Amino acid sequence: MKKIFNFYYDGFTNMKLGKVLWLLIFIKLFVMFAILKTFFFKDFLSEKFNTDKEKSEYILKELTKF
């Protein structure tokens, strides 16, 4: 375990361009999950219904309303 930890630790500490790339990755993931997913991309069915049965009934209603 220690070997694996040191492998990653040394790898990360010796990075040059990699540090910029990791920063970009973290900013991107933060924007995607903490902002977009939380505020703009809520799961439509889970927001409206609590159970799978309710979701099924809603979709069936949607599919057969014509």
Partner 1 sequence: MDENLLELVNWSRAQFALTAMYHWLFVPLTLGITFIIAIMETIYYKTNDEKWKKITKFWMILFGINFAIGVATGIILEFQFGTNWSNYSWFVGDIFGAPLAIEGIMAFFLESTFIAVMFFGWNKVSKKFHLVSTWLVALGSNLSALWILVANAWMQHPVGMKFNTETARNEMVDFWEILFSPVAISKFLHTITSGYVLASIFVIGVSAWFLLKNREEFLAKKSILIAAIFGLSSSLFLAGTGDIAGHEIAQKQGMKLAAMEGLYKGENGASLVLFGLLDGDKKLKDENNGFVFKIEIPKALSFLANRDFDSFVPGIEDIVYGNKEHGFIPTSEKIIKGKLAIKSLKEYKSSKKNGDKIKEKSSLKIFEENFKYFGYGYLNSPESIIPNVPLVFYSFHIMVALGFYFIVFFILVLFFLKKDILQKNKWILYTSIWTVPLAYIASETGWIVAEVGRQPWVIQDLMTTSMAVSKIDASAVQITFFLFLSIFTALLIAEIKIMTTQIKNY
The residues binding partner 1 (CB under 8 A) are 7-8, 10-12, 14, 17-18, 20-22, 24-25, 28-29, 31-32, 36-37, 40-46, 52, 55-56, 59-60, 62-64, 66
- Cβ at position 8, least distance to partner 1 in Å: 7
- Cβ at position 2, least distance to partner 1 in Å: 14
C-alpha 10/C-alpha 26 separation (Å) is: 20
Distances (CA, A) of 17 to 8, 10, 27, 30: 16, 15, 16, 20
